[in-house]
Chain A
Amino acid sequence: MLKLHNLSKVYRTAEVETVALNAVNVEIDSGEFVAIMGPSGCGKSTLLNIIGMLDTPTGGNYFFRDEDIASYPEARLSDLRKRNIGFIFQSFNLIDELSVAENIELALLYHDDISASERRDRVASIMDKVGIAHRAKHMPSQLSGGQQQRVAVARAVVGGQALILADEPTGNLDSTHGQEVMEMLQGLNEEGTTIVMVTHSAAHSDYARRTINLFDGHVVTENLRAVG
């Protein structure tokens, strides 16, 4: 699905040069569930942002479905992103002023080819799937953290995205809710969605079939978990 070749990211200010990623080579196939781990400041989030096309690398190549997109302009990346990639954040990032259904619908709003009625249908069915249909009209502030993250998951996949990027999706949740969310991700993965997840939790990284360990901008190890 995607391939990073000698990818590097350097932040430059007038005096300091900070290397966030240094010649990273990673390949992720369709249907994989990959966890990225590493200590704070190792470049996990930078890597995820680049994969998510929210950031651009300063060197190397990024092949997304065999296209080298490293030098694509913002508008094109934006288009690619909205059709292919869904995001899940540690802090949920739901919009407080929108209801559950409207928050999910947001992910479809910027697709010109989806009609209003189709949007409604898709939102309804995804809410059923993640089990928050009864909360459709509620505002985010009325939901528990677990429920909010379920809404965020629904929002990430409602557009039929093939790749989910999750940045510590369980970081703000207690273990029970964290567990729930991981199972939901696992379910999605089993249906064929590719998932790349940054996490601190060894327990949750066990849901992934492969773990990439980063340290100071380098890929240190890649562990493959035997499919059980």
Chain B
Amino acid sequence: MFKNYLTIAWRSLQKNKLYASINVFGLVLGLAVYLFANLLVAYERSHDLFFTNSDRIFTVGSHFSPTANIGINETDGVYSAFAPFFEAEVENVEAVARTIGREYLLSVDNDHYYETVRFADAELLEIFDFTYLGGDASALDDPMGIVLNREMATKLFGTTDVVGRTVLLDHDHALRVRAVIEDLPPNTHLAGNFLDDEGTAVIATLEALNTIDGYALEGNWNNLSMGDYTYMLMPAGTTKAELQPQLDAIYERHFPRKDLLVVDGIKVRKLVEANYVLWDAIGLPILESIRILGLLVLIVAIVNYTNLATAQSLGRSREIGLRKTMGATRGQLVIQFLVESLFVAFIAMVIALALVELLIPLFNVAMDKGLAINHLRELPWLIITTVLVGVVAGAYPAYTITQASPINALQNSGAKGLKGGFFRSIMLGLQFSITIFMLAMVMVMFTQNQKIESASEIYPKSQIITLSRLGVDSLMPRLETLRNELLTIPGVTGVSYTSQLPFEQSNSQFNASLEATGEAEDFLLTNIVIDEQWSAVFDVPLLAGRFLDPTRSADSMSEDATAANVIVNQLALERLGFGTPEAALGRVFYDLRQDSESRSLTIVGVLPDQNYQGFHNQIKPTVFRQIPERFRFAAIRVEGVAMGQAFSAVEDVWEEIVPDYPIQSRFLDDEFNETFQVYGGLSSVLGGFAGLALLLSLIGLFGLAAFMAAGRTKEIGVRKVMGASMTQIVRLLIWQFSKPVLWSLLVALPLAFLAANAYLSFFAERISYALPIVGGAGMLAVVFAWIIVAIHATRVARANPIHALRYE
């Protein structure tokens, strides 16, 4: 019996090859996308599980107050001064380790490399069980000891047998290699996140950082950087729910800067979450979205199958009638049809798996990931998916086709083409709703990306070369010489030193007030360090006043200055309540510093509001000051000559003045593109999904139109005999399909509009015309649908009515 089902299934697939390939192809696409999305999400959610203690390791992050206005909800680390309290006050805590990532120049003999060094408490090696190629977990007990991974050891020394060798940090500090560890697989948060791909290749002690940079070992309450994790090792079985109240209490008891309204709480997470905490932080539920999108594409594919199979099964009503006549019960026939759809689902699953297997290596290389299908482990899931898809897809056709009484089934071979039309219309509508929704989102994201790109044009980014890592003590005295030399390069019109470059997601804020005593209301202002050439290099015009002037000493301040001249933007003026730009000139406000006297700031110039800090930061009230100790970057404006030529001239100048540090130069364009690729990548992923959904929907529509038209052959024949023109018939058929598609617009467009607005709210500079774009996506889908149906309708309408009528 079963064999007979399979025979029939296989042969009816073969008999109608177009139909079969559309059906299998559709399911393959749907399944492949679904499998891939789930594998990716599962992969992202299973990081770090290879550490023996992964269940017992927790990280603590900071939650930002909604009023902090820094574009993210939380970050993955806490102020380093929290750690001693965790150690002392969290019950049963076994070990606490802080890590601080800093970039330093590492030298071995005459080779110099900029590398991120992860400074950590010695307990880090107790918490994570690395595989040691040399040395052991006591490596960091030596304050000047360092741990290298295999890759770094090989890069620095050409071998991994380097325990006892010395690495020179920043030309001054000798660190001893105490251990070499095996490289970590890509599925760990220690390999870096999507914002920076700095892995964990060099580990040193916090004591070393203290020696090198005066880092206070007890920690501080003023620096939060992404990737600087604080870990806690707890006894087995500890839950987040047990830890969170203790952490809340520690925050309440010890956090001294609640008044700042920036960090409003600290939050425990399991180690496995460390990998995706930043998505939560940005507020883009990216993993959930990928999973839902994958499911939606699969649903579109299933609906496709259901619709086509139902339409096609009408052509098999004679077989049904016959089987019933032979004594088949309805249950047996339902099972037969389900076996067929299971069979198709199985074939599709095998092909989809093969496809995913082919894609994974490409994806892994492109995205630096380690996805893999563990077939044995995934088997139950794969089987369940196959069966579910087969049963869900086949249930409706099986139900409809076996419904007819045997006589009807025998007599009306395929004639009842319109039966079940309502259900199929609903299905078609559902399919198009999903497609239109995704299409609209892609178009909104795409337009928004265009917007970001064009917004970034406020700065002449294609004419700027940047230098970074200037914040080194030994470089500071040479910056003026460097600037002067750079200015001699033909085409270089300006060199500006700053604390941060445009588009960089970095926030430095301070407490400001109109009163030095702090008696008046205080509020947060954003702080950007610039110099006198900044306005010229970045083409930012002043609204009022003058720019900073190198000849006036009050225009440049040192860290301990008590008074200085500053430039502010318009938002800062509003925040300070100083009225118009002109009226604000000469007005004074105060920087309320924590441990020292308030500093008075006098406004000498006003800048327009521009988004300097990346794409989803709102433009903030900002104060621009010149503090030479805080210069980190140089921006070199080049005009009238080829950028490449200027670039190598810059390298030559650097080599001459700073021979002891490798140059870190880039084009500002590239910096932008790097930050931008998160959004670009996001919209291409969604674009791919939406494209597939549209393709599937159109394929489905095509197949359905074919069958529906076939079901109306006689009607069309009669109409033609009565004198209907071809256009009238084409219109008739198009209308039949337009109705569900138009209904789907009503469902999809409002949802897409809401989703688009939610997405757009992440951006400071956003398109204001989501509605026409969403509407346009709907139109596009309808036009595509019309074209597909029209092609078919024309063919049917053109046929000679005699053929249509002869077949009864």
> Hey, which bits of chain A sit against chain B, CB under 8 A?
49, 52, 54-55, 75, 78-79, 81-83, 87, 89, 93, 95-98, 102, 105-107, 109-111
**In the complex, what's the smallest C-beta–C-beta distance from B163 to chain A, in angstroms?**
72
Residue-wise, chain B 316-344 has the 8 Å CB interface mask toward A (1 for contact) of: 00110111111111001000000000000
**In the complex, what's the smallest C-beta–C-beta distance from A126 to chain B, in angstroms?**
15
- B407 in the interface, Cβ–Cβ < 8 Å? yes
**Contact, CB under 8 Å: B1 / A87:** no
**In the complex, what's the smallest C-beta–C-beta distance from A84 to chain B, in angstroms?**
10
- B286 in the interface, Cβ–Cβ < 8 Å? no
**Contact, CB under 8 Å: A93 / B406:** no
Please give, as numbers and ranges, the residues of chain A lying within 8 Å of B329 by CB-CB distance: 75, 78, 110
**Contact, CB under 8 Å: B405 / A87:** no
Q: How far is the CA of A102 from the CA of B319 in the complex (A)?
A: 13
> Can you identify 22 A-B contacts, CB atoms within 8 angstroms?
A49-B407, A54-B324, A54-B407, A78-B324, A78-B328, A82-B327, A93-B318, A93-B410, A95-B319, A95-B322, A96-B15, A97-B8, A98-B11, A105-B4, A106-B4, A106-B322, A106-B326, A107-B326, A109-B326, A110-B326, A110-B328, A110-B329
- B580 in the interface, Cβ–Cβ < 8 Å? no
Nearest chain-B residue to A49 (Cβ)?
Answer: B407
Please give, as numbers and ranges, the residues of chain A lying within 8 Å of B327 by CB-CB distance: 78-79, 81-83, 110-111
Please give, as numbers and ranges, the residues of chain B lying within 8 Å of A83 by CB-CB distance: 327
**In the complex, what's the smallest C-beta–C-beta distance from A75 to chain B, in angstroms?**
6
Nearest chain-B residue to A75 (Cβ)?
Answer: B329
Please give, as numbers and ranges, the residues of chain A lying within 8 Å of B410 by CB-CB distance: 89, 93
Q: How far is the CA of A55 from the CA of B325 in the complex (A)?
A: 11
Please give, as numbers and ranges, the residues of chain A lying within 8 Å of B323 by CB-CB distance: 106, 110
Please give, as numbers and ranges, the residues of chain B lying within 8 Å of A102 by CB-CB distance: 4, 7
- 8 tightest A-B contacts by CB? A82-B327, A97-B11, A110-B327, A110-B328, A54-B406, A95-B319, A54-B407, A107-B326
- B364 in the interface, Cβ–Cβ < 8 Å? no
* From A55, A89, A93, contact of B405 by CB (8 A): A55
Within 8 A of A (CB), among B1-47: 1, 4, 7-8, 11-12, 15
Please give, as numbers and ranges, the residues of chain B lying within 8 Å of A106 by CB-CB distance: 4, 322-323, 326
**In the complex, what's the smallest C-beta–C-beta distance from B326 to chain A, in angstroms?**
5
**Contact, CB under 8 Å: A55 / B324:** no
**In the complex, what's the smallest C-beta–C-beta distance from B10 to chain A, in angstroms?**
9
Please give, as numbers and ranges, the residues of chain A lying within 8 Å of B325 by CB-CB distance: 52, 54, 81, 87
Please give, as numbers and ranges, the residues of chain B lying within 8 Å of A54 by CB-CB distance: 324-325, 405-407
**Contact, CB under 8 Å: B8 / A98:** yes
Please give, as numbers and ranges, the residues of chain B lying within 8 Å of A49 by CB-CB distance: 407
* From B12, B321, B328, B405, contact of A97 by CB (8 A): B12
> Hey, which bits of chain B sit against chain A, CB under 8 A?
1, 4, 7-8, 11-12, 15, 318-319, 321-329, 332, 405-407, 410
Nearest chain-B residue to A103 (Cβ)?
Answer: B322
Please give, as numbers and ranges, the residues of chain A lying within 8 Å of B321 by CB-CB distance: 93
Looking at B12, B326, B328, the one whose CB has the most chain A CB atoms below 10 A away is: B326
Q: How far is the CA of A98 from the CA of B318 in the complex (A)?
A: 13
Please give, as numbers and ranges, the residues of chain B lying within 8 Å of A55 by CB-CB distance: 405, 407
Nearest chain-A residue to B411 (Cβ)?
Answer: A45
Q: How far is the CA of A106 from the CA of B321 in the complex (A)?
A: 13
**Contact, CB under 8 Å: A110 / B332:** yes
Given A95-B319, A106-B322, 13 more A-B residue pairs with CB atoms under 8 Å apart are A54-B405, A54-B406, A55-B405, A75-B329, A78-B329, A81-B325, A95-B318, A106-B4, A106-B326, A109-B4, A109-B326, A110-B326, A111-B327
Q: How far is the CA of A54 from the CA of B411 in the complex (A)?
A: 12
Nearest chain-A residue to B3 (Cβ)?
Answer: A116
**Contact, CB under 8 Å: A82 / B4:** no
Please give, as numbers and ranges, the residues of chain A lying within 8 Å of B4 by CB-CB distance: 98, 102, 105-106, 109
Q: How far is the CA of A78 from the CA of B327 in the complex (A)?
A: 5
Nearest chain-A residue to B1 (Cβ)?
Answer: A109
* From A81, A82, A93, contact of B322 by CB (8 A): A93
**In the complex, what's the smallest C-beta–C-beta distance from B808 to chain A, in angstroms?**
11
Looking at A52, A54, A89, A102, the one whose CB has the most chain B CB atoms below 10 A away is: A54
Please give, as numbers and ranges, the residues of chain A lying within 8 Å of B332 by CB-CB distance: 110
Please give, as numbers and ranges, the residues of chain B lying within 8 Å of A111 by CB-CB distance: 327
**In the complex, what's the smallest C-beta–C-beta distance from A73 to chain B, in angstroms?**
11
Given known contacts A49-B407, A95-B319, A110-B332, is B12 in contact with A82 (CB within 8 Å)?
no
Nearest chain-A residue to B326 (Cβ)?
Answer: A107
Q: How far is the CA of A111 from the CA of B405 in the complex (A)?
A: 20
Q: How far is the CA of A105 from the CA of B7 in the complex (A)?
A: 13
Nearest chain-B residue to A78 (Cβ)?
Answer: B327
Please give, as numbers and ranges, the residues of chain A lying within 8 Å of B15 by CB-CB distance: 96-97
Please give, as numbers and ranges, the residues of chain B lying within 8 Å of A89 by CB-CB distance: 410
**In the complex, what's the smallest C-beta–C-beta distance from A114 to chain B, in angstroms?**
11
Q: How far is the CA of A78 from the CA of B319 in the complex (A)?
A: 16
Q: How far is the CA of A78 from the CA of B324 in the complex (A)?
A: 8
**In the complex, what's the smallest C-beta–C-beta distance from A41 to chain B, in angstroms?**
14
**In the complex, what's the smallest C-beta–C-beta distance from B640 to chain A, in angstroms?**
76
**In the complex, what's the smallest C-beta–C-beta distance from B596 to chain A, in angstroms?**
90
**In the complex, what's the smallest C-beta–C-beta distance from B316 to chain A, in angstroms?**
9
**In the complex, what's the smallest C-beta–C-beta distance from A99 to chain B, in angstroms?**
9
Nearest chain-A residue to B13 (Cβ)?
Answer: A97
**In the complex, what's the smallest C-beta–C-beta distance from B253 to chain A, in angstroms?**
75
Looking at A52, A79, A81, A109, the one whose CB has the most chain B CB atoms below 10 A away is: A109
Please give, as numbers and ranges, the residues of chain A lying within 8 Å of B12 by CB-CB distance: 97
Nearest chain-B residue to A87 (Cβ)?
Answer: B325
Q: How far is the CA of A95 from the CA of B11 in the complex (A)?
A: 11
Q: How far is the CA of A52 from the CA of B324 in the complex (A)?
A: 12
Looking at B12, B322, B325, B328, the one whose CB has the most chain A CB atoms below 10 A away is: B325
Please give, as numbers and ranges, the residues of chain B lying within 8 Å of A82 by CB-CB distance: 326-327
Nearest chain-B residue to A55 (Cβ)?
Answer: B407
Nearest chain-B residue to A93 (Cβ)?
Answer: B322
Please give, as numbers and ranges, the residues of chain A lying within 8 Å of B322 by CB-CB distance: 93, 95, 106
Please give, as numbers and ranges, the residues of chain B lying within 8 Å of A96 by CB-CB distance: 15
Q: How far is the CA of A83 from the CA of B15 in the complex (A)?
A: 32
Please give, as numbers and ranges, the residues of chain A lying within 8 Å of B319 by CB-CB distance: 95, 97
**In the complex, what's the smallest C-beta–C-beta distance from A201 to chain B, in angstroms?**
21
Q: How far is the CA of A52 from the CA of B322 in the complex (A)?
A: 13
Given known contacts A54-B325, A93-B322, is B405 in contact with A98 (CB within 8 Å)?
no
Q: How far is the CA of A54 from the CA of B1 in the complex (A)?
A: 23
Q: How far is the CA of A148 from the CA of B601 in the complex (A)?
A: 103
Q: How far is the CA of A109 from the CA of B319 in the complex (A)?
A: 14
Nearest chain-A residue to B5 (Cβ)?
Answer: A109
Please give, as numbers and ranges, the residues of chain B lying within 8 Å of A78 by CB-CB distance: 324, 327-329
**In the complex, what's the smallest C-beta–C-beta distance from A96 to chain B, in angstroms?**
7
Q: How far is the CA of A111 from the CA of B1 in the complex (A)?
A: 10
Q: How far is the CA of A81 from the CA of B407 in the complex (A)?
A: 14
Q: How far is the CA of A120 from the CA of B707 in the complex (A)?
A: 37
Please give, as numbers and ranges, the residues of chain A lying within 8 Å of B11 by CB-CB distance: 97-98
Nearest chain-B residue to A155 (Cβ)?
Answer: B326
**In the complex, what's the smallest C-beta–C-beta distance from A74 to chain B, in angstroms?**
8
Please give, as numbers and ranges, the residues of chain B lying within 8 Å of A110 by CB-CB distance: 323, 326-329, 332
Q: How far is the CA of A102 from the CA of B326 in the complex (A)?
A: 14
Q: How far is the CA of A110 from the CA of B318 in the complex (A)?
A: 17
Q: How far is the CA of A172 from the CA of B177 in the complex (A)?
A: 95
Q: How far is the CA of A111 from the CA of B323 in the complex (A)?
A: 12
Q: How far is the CA of A105 from the CA of B324 in the complex (A)?
A: 14
**Contact, CB under 8 Å: A98 / B326:** no
Please give, as numbers and ranges, the residues of chain B lying within 8 Å of A79 by CB-CB distance: 327
**In the complex, what's the smallest C-beta–C-beta distance from B14 to chain A, in angstroms?**
8
Please give, as numbers and ranges, the residues of chain B lying within 8 Å of A93 by CB-CB distance: 318, 321-322, 410
**In the complex, what's the smallest C-beta–C-beta distance from A215 to chain B, in angstroms?**
22
**In the complex, what's the smallest C-beta–C-beta distance from B337 to chain A, in angstroms?**
14
Q: How far is the CA of A95 from the CA of B326 in the complex (A)?
A: 13
**In the complex, what's the smallest C-beta–C-beta distance from B325 to chain A, in angstroms?**
5
